Amino acid sequence: MIRTVESEPHASPPVLAAYSYCEAVTGRQARNFAYGIRLLPTPQRRAMSALYAFSRRVDDIGDGALDDDVKVARLEETRALLTRIREDEVADDDTDPVAVALSHAAGAFPIPLGGLDELIDGVLMDVRGETYETWDDLKVYCRCVAGAIGRLSLGVFGTEPGARGADRAPEYADTLGLALQLTNILRDVREDAEGGRTYLPADDLAKFGCSAGFSGRRPPEGSDFAGLVHFEVRRARALFAEGYRLLPMLDRRSGACVAAMAGIYRRLLDRIERDPEAVLRGRVSLPGREKAYVAVRGLSGLDARHATRRTVRRRV
Q: Is residue 169 part of a domain?
A: yes
Q: Is residue 18 part of a domain?
A: yes
Co-location of 77 and 138 in the same domain: no
Co-location of 259 and 165 in the same domain: yes
Co-location of 156 and 242 in the same domain: yes
Co-location of 96 and 218 in the same domain: no
What is the reported pLDDT for 301?
56
Q: Is residue 117 part of a domain?
A: no
Nearest-CA neighbor of 94 among 18, 29, 145?
18
Is 309 a residue whose pLDDT tops 60?
A: no
Is 45 a residue whose pLDDT tops 70?
A: yes
Q: What are the angstrom distances between the C-alpha of 158 and each of 46, 64, 145, 167? A: 15, 34, 21, 11
The answer to whether 124 touches 72, Cβ cutoff 8 Å, is: yes
Quick one: average pLDDT of 217-222? Answer: 91
Co-location of 55 and 149 in the same domain: no
Neighbours of 237 (CB within 10 A): 17
What is the reported pLDDT for 289?
74
Quick one: average pLDDT of 290-296? Answer: 69
Quick one: average pLDDT of 288-306? Answer: 62
Given pLDDT bands bounded at 50, 70 and 90, which one contains residue 2?
Answer: very low
Contacts (Cβ under 8 Å, ≥6 apart) of 69: none
Q: Is residue 298 part of a domain?
A: yes
Co-location of 241 and 138 in the same domain: yes
| Number of domains forming the structure of the chain | 2
Neighbours of 162 (CB within 10 A): 8
Q: How many CA atoms lie within 13 Å of 19's alpha carbon, on the beta-carbon side? A: 18
Co-location of 101 and 156 in the same domain: no
Helix axis angle for 97-108 and 42-63, nearest 10°, is 130
Co-location of 104 and 138 in the same domain: no
Is 4 a residue whose pLDDT tops 50?
A: no
Residues 179-197: tens digit of each pLDDT: 999 999 999 999 999 888 9
Range of the domain at 16: 12-110
Residues 119-161: tens digit of each pLDDT: 999 999 999 999 999 999 999 999 999 999 999 999 999 999 9
Cα 21 to the center of its chain, rounded Å: 20
Given pLDDT bands bounded at 50, 70 and 90, which one contains residue 287?
Answer: confident
What is the reported pLDDT for 19?
97
Give the predicted TM-score (pTM) of the model: 0.88
Quick one: average pLDDT of 31-59? Answer: 90
Quick one: average pLDDT of 251-275? Answer: 91
Nearest-CA neighbor of 90 among 61, 41, 54, 44?
54
Co-location of 195 and 302 in the same domain: yes
Q: Is residue 4 part of a domain?
A: no
% pLDDT > 70, the chain: 88
What is the reported pLDDT for 298?
60
Is 313 a residue whose pLDDT tops 70?
A: no
The answer to whether 239 touches 175, Cβ cutoff 8 Å, is: yes
Q: Is residue 124 part of a domain?
A: no
Given pLDDT bands bounded at 50, 70 and 90, which one contains residue 215?
Answer: confident
Residues 68-120: tens digit of each pLDDT: 999 999 999 999 999 999 999 999 999 999 999 999 999 999 999 999 999 99
Q: Is residue 295 part of a domain?
A: yes
The C-alpha atoms of residue 16 and residue 126 are separated, in whole angstroms, by 34
Co-location of 84 and 149 in the same domain: no
Co-location of 104 and 239 in the same domain: no
What is the reported pLDDT for 305?
46
Contacts (Cβ under 8 Å, ≥6 apart) of 55: 116, 119, 149
The C-alpha atoms of residue 244 and residue 266 are separated, in whole angstroms, by 11
The answer to whether 235 touches 180, Cβ cutoff 8 Å, is: no
Quick one: average pLDDT of 286-291? Answer: 74
Q: How many CA atoms lie within 13 Å of 157's alpha carbon, on the beta-carbon side? A: 30
Residue 93 belongs to a domain with what CATH number?
1.10.600.10
Q: Is residue 126 part of a domain?
A: no
Nearest-CA neighbor of 235 among 273, 207, 263?
273
What is the reported pLDDT for 288?
73
**What does the chain look like in DSSP terms, one character per residue?**
-B---SSPPP--HHHHHHHHHHHHHHHHH-HHHHHHHTTS-HHHHHHHHHHHHHHHHHHHHHHSSS-HHHHHHHHHHHHHHHHHHHTT---TT-S-HHHHHHHHHHHHS---THHHHHHHHHHHHHHTT---SSHHHHHHHHIIIIIHHHHHHHHHH-B-TT-TTGGGHHHHHHHHHHHHHHHHHHHTHHHHHHTT---S-HHHHHHTT-TT---SSSPPTT--HHHHHHHHHHHHHHHHHHHGGGGGGS-HHHHHHHHHHHHHHHHHHHHHHH-TTHHHHS-----HHHHHHHHHHHHHTHHHHHHHHHHHHHH-
Q: Mean pLDDT, the chain, as a whole number?
A: 89
Co-location of 308 and 200 in the same domain: yes
